[in-house]
Amino acid sequence: MEPVWIVLIIVGALGLIVLFWYIATMNGLRQLEVKVNEAESGIDVALTKRFDVLSKMVETVKGYAKHEEETFMNVVKWRNNMPEELTIEQKEEFMQKMDAVQSGINVVVEQYPELKAEKVFSNLQHSITDVEEHLQASRRLYNANVSRLNSRIVTFPVSIVASKIGMNKKEFFEAEVNKRQDVDISF
Amino acid sequence: MDTILKPLNKKKKVSEIFMGTGGVVLIGGVLLFITGNTFIVMIVGAILLFIGLAYFNHVGTIFKSKVLKKHLEETIENCVYDPRKGLDKNEVMRTEFLKRPDRIKTEDYLAGELDGVKFVSSDVVLKERQVTHTSKGTRTRYVTYFHGRVFRFDFNKQFKGAVQVLESYRPKTRRNFEKVSLESIDFNKTYKTYATDAHTAFYILTPHFMESLMTLEKKHPGNLGFSFLESHLHVAIHNRKSSFSIRPFSKLDTSLLKRFDEDLNIIYDIVDDLKLNKDIFKEEE
């Protein structure tokens, strides 16, 4: 066989390898992005559930907590003025606003122990704890996926594919300082 | 306690004399047989040894049913202990990470309630059949691949699907599991996590829970596996140990019960470290 043909075959084979690698890497990045988006929608679901349970809690304690009711109404107004799809930053803000209402309710409950004894309220407290755990799980899953995606797209040569398909680093869903401390693990 | 232990120690001593004499006679008999003498001595040694072992096991069973049972009933609420019974095969297979065995032996069934958390457990030995084809024919043997204790705890946190946290097992189920990486590198190095849904894995395995699973792994050497399924936590620990077996040539006394208590610590640790007794895990009244 002519040397020219051998060179052409080698170049062609290398080109095919690069093409296959490019497609595989692109698909891998897209799949990771889908996982990030799925996890983000998990946060949306958990935030909505928390909002619903919190509104029921506010309804239950409104006789005792005028201030918390007003704070919650402000959160409702804020949410109504926001677009349907919130950005990560807006979701963080939404969560922090609900945290503030929740802390207020906790203070009221400490002041009025008879509230704790109410079956409806204790069920709601149980629900809110569960909803918050789901929210934390969604947030951690989202951040774990974002961390994986971000570390892949900054690593050479995957970074070339990422920039070609216009994929950028994703934002983390940050919890406020005290929540973040809960997540720190020391073995 | 002494009124039971004293005669038991006497019986145990008799069994040990039979075992010791049988062992010596057997060795002597083997030596005689090798040097071309009669095999009768060897047979006598084997019989003595067999009688000694059988009697020793009998003493062990009496100790378990009279002394240990009472001790466990005093320690564990609603305790059910049966040295001859064990978890059935289906219960063991419900872990969904232990391979289906060709032979199974279960004993020392222990059930009860700790801090309001119900549990059942037993010692389990699982064996698989191995067939080797050689020029001299086919050889079949049964190889032990699991020897330890299997537990089932009530786990009242509501969740969808199934999650498995395994040290070196693999899921043995048709469930559509995905491998999940948690945020702790150390945890991912120690355990492999499989779940039908990543969210459920993150929901069950909170940072505190992960830390507790790491502590359990350090405290209890062996191959650990955890399976969260349908309001239950299944735990298997492969440590090549029988929990409540007595040893020959050591006295039966209260120090032995302390040793057994140490073996039972894993139950307390699972309930306490994993906070199975916390409100969120309990069913509403």
Q: pLDDT of A132-172, one tens digit each?
A: 889 999 999 999 999 999 999 999 999 999 999 998 899 89
> Is the minimum CB–CB distance between A117 and chain B shorter than 8 Å?
no
Q: What are A68-120's pLDDT values in tens digits?
A: 777 778 888 888 777 778 888 888 888 888 888 888 888 888 877 777 777 88
Residue B43 is encoded by which pair of tokens?
């047979």
Q: Which of B142, B133, B85, B125 is nearest to B238 (CA)?
A: B125
Whether residues B87 and B38 share a domain: the answer is no
Residue A9 is encoded by which pair of tokens?
């075959």
% pLDDT > 90, chain A: 36
Distance from CA of A144 to the nearest CA of B (A): 6
> Is the minimum CB–CB distance between A126 and chain B shorter than 8 Å?
yes
Q: Do the beta carbons of residue B225 and residue B236 sit within 8 Å?
A: yes
Give me the domain span that covers residue B2.
1-75
Distance from CA of A8 to the nearest CA of B (A): 42
Note the pLDDT of residue B233.
Answer: 92
d(CA B241, CA B108): 12
Whether residues B197 and B270 share a domain: the answer is yes
Q: Which of residues 46-105 of B touch A (CB under 8 A)?
A: none
- Picking from B183, B199, B206, the nearest residue to A138 by CB comes out as B199
Note the pLDDT of residue B59.
Answer: 86
Note the pLDDT of residue A176.
Answer: 53
Q: Which residues of chain B have pLDDT under 70?
A: 1-2, 278-285
Q: Please give the tally of structural domains in chain B.
A: 2
- The interface predicted TM-score (ipTM) is 0.79
**Which DSSP state fits A50?**
H
- The contacts found for B214-218 with CB under 8 angstroms, 24 or more apart, are B214/A187, B214/B186, B214/B187, B214/B190, B215/B269, B215/B273, B216/B266, B216/B269, B216/B270, B216/B273, B216/B274, B217/B167, B217/B190, B217/B191
- Picking from B202, B211, B284, the nearest residue to A140 by CB comes out as B202
Whether residues B70 and B87 share a domain: the answer is no
Whether residues B161 and B245 share a domain: the answer is yes
Whether residues B23 and B121 share a domain: the answer is no
CATH T-level fold of A33-182: de novo design (two linked rop proteins) (1.20.1440)
Whether residues B90 and B53 share a domain: the answer is no
d(CA A19, CA A11): 12
Note the pLDDT of residue B280.
Answer: 53
Whether residues B43 and B95 share a domain: the answer is no
Note the pLDDT of residue A120.
Answer: 81
Q: Which of B75, B107, B129 is the last residue of a domain?
A: B75
Note the pLDDT of residue A12.
Answer: 95
Contacts of A140 in chain B (CB under 8 A): 183, 202
8 Å CB contact of A137 and B203: yes
Contacts of B284 in chain A (CB under 8 A): 123, 126
Site of tokens 């690698």: A21
